[in-house]
Amino acid sequence: MPTTFHAKVCAKHQPFCLDLKISFYEPIVVIPETIHQCHLVTR
């Protein structure tokens, strides 16, 4: 069973945060220009 991360991605142009469940095999791409902050917490 692959390790799953819970990522909260906040974009500058969005008033809300996106809750994403990301698989360990899937890389997360964070762009400094569009992403305000990205928190990765192991679940």
For residue range 9-38, list pLDDT tens digits in order: 554 444 445 555 544 444 455 555 444 444
Look at residue 1 in the predicted model and tell me its pLDDT.
42
Q: Position 38: which residue type?
A: C
Look at residue 29 in the predicted model and tell me its pLDDT.
57
Claim: this prediction has a pTM higher than 0.85: no
Asked whether the CA dihedral 36, 28, 43, 16 is positive or negative, the reply is: positive
Look at residue 19 in the predicted model and tell me its pLDDT.
54
Look at residue 40 in the predicted model and tell me its pLDDT.
46
Q: Pairing state of beta strands 35-42 and 4-11?
A: antiparallel
Across the chain, which distance is largest between two alpha carbons, in Å? 35
Look at residue 5 in the predicted model and tell me its pLDDT.
47
